[in-house]
Amino acid sequence: MNFLRAVLLLVGTTLGAGIFALPYFFAQSGWLPSLIGIVLLTGLTVTVNLYYARIAIATPGNHQLGYYAQKYLGTKSRLLALFVLASTLTGAILIYTILGGSFLTIIFPAFSPLTGRLAFLILAFLALQGRLRRLSSVETILTIILIILAFSFPLLGFHHYHLNNLKMFGPHPLAFYGPLLFSLAGLTVIPEMKTLLHEDRRALIKASIIGTIIIALVNFIFSFTIWALVVPTNDVLTALQQAFPVLGFLAAIMGTLSCFTSFLGLTEVLQNLLQEIRLSPPQIHYLNFSIFAAGLFLPINFLGDILDLSGALGLGAINILVILIYQHLKKTRLSFWPMVAMFFFILGLAEPLRHLF
């Protein structure tokens, strides 16, 4: 049972806002670059997750990336890791707040965008205060429902496909990179999975592989289904609801569940990170309030840029650090596959800069 809960912890925390942004970015890239990207980035994500799992098992206690960076690479690496990890988690929490509120306005049409975001934050706050987050049966059930909904979409929408929507190449072949990396990455919960699995190395590695493959399949199946149903835009769910109200309503429920489980998981990871750098409770509460306030009022048109930057820059840098820590732990030079992985992540750091120039 703990093994299943560990897999669902990884899946539930990782599947979030990215799944609803991917159809638009896949359309910008085209189906061929996107398909190659899914295979390649899934392989790279599995590799980095395995490295991180081995780092976590080899290091006593339950820690985050900053601790591992200091222990194996030094103080400067710790500061870099803390900055990148905190920035990426903050970006993810903002994304889930914005999208979670948008989904609630579809489920409850009387809600304004601000009311939807506020309702989402209140529900999340109550769950965190009530400790529903801590690997409870509630989270497990929500994640199972989310997976079922994602895999049911191809069947529900089968008779409405417009395969001519699926272009082989789009105007920006690498547009998928940052959002897809964001949608696959869940290594921040691996230390918690280690605790849940009682530090069983083989079980942790197996759970990491299975969980990442499920995440990749859900992202692929759901995103390509949406793409085949409607021409993706920045607000793909509104377009889906206007064309197919029932599917749009179901997608809004799925979106709320995915944002909710991810928000809870990453918020707790952020709290652990802030405690690890020894911030006082008042300072942590102030930072939380600032992030949640930004999530309430940040315009939705910033969503794509946050997703791209958090994925390509934030997670790219985190993955590079994990590879370096793992190689230091092994006390060997970079071997072929870690060098290949680092090469792709370093190249990926430049992709989102197209927004700035």
Give the predicted TM-score (pTM) of the model.
0.88
Quickly state the pLDDT bin for 135 (edges 50, 70, 90).
very low
Q: Which residues contact 63 (CB under 8 A, 6 or more apart)?
A: 56, 191, 276
Structure tokens, 309:
């930057």
Q: Tell me how far apart the alpha carbons of residues 19 and 227 are, in angstroms, rounded to a whole number.
A: 12
Assess contact for 311 and 182: CB atoms under 8 A.
Answer: yes
List pLDDT tens digits, range 68-103.
999 999 999 999 999 999 889 998 899 899 889 999
Name the domain count of the chain: 1
Q: What SS3 state is found at 169?
A: coil
Phi and psi at residue 81, to the nearest 5°: -60, -45
Residue with tokens 């939807």: 116
Nearest Cα to Cα of residue 321 among 80, 49, 60:
80
Provide the domain limits for residue 339. Answer: 2-355
Model pLDDT for residues 169-213, shown as the tens digit of each residue: 999 999 999 889 989 988 888 988 998 898 899 999 999 999 999
- Give whole-number Cα distances, 246 to 74, 107, 156, 185, in Å: 54, 11, 10, 30
Which CATH number belongs to the domain containing residue 237 in this structure? 1.20.1740.10
294/271 Cα distance (integer angstroms): 17
Provide the angle, in degrees to the nearest 10, between the axes of the packed helices 65-73 and 31-58: 70
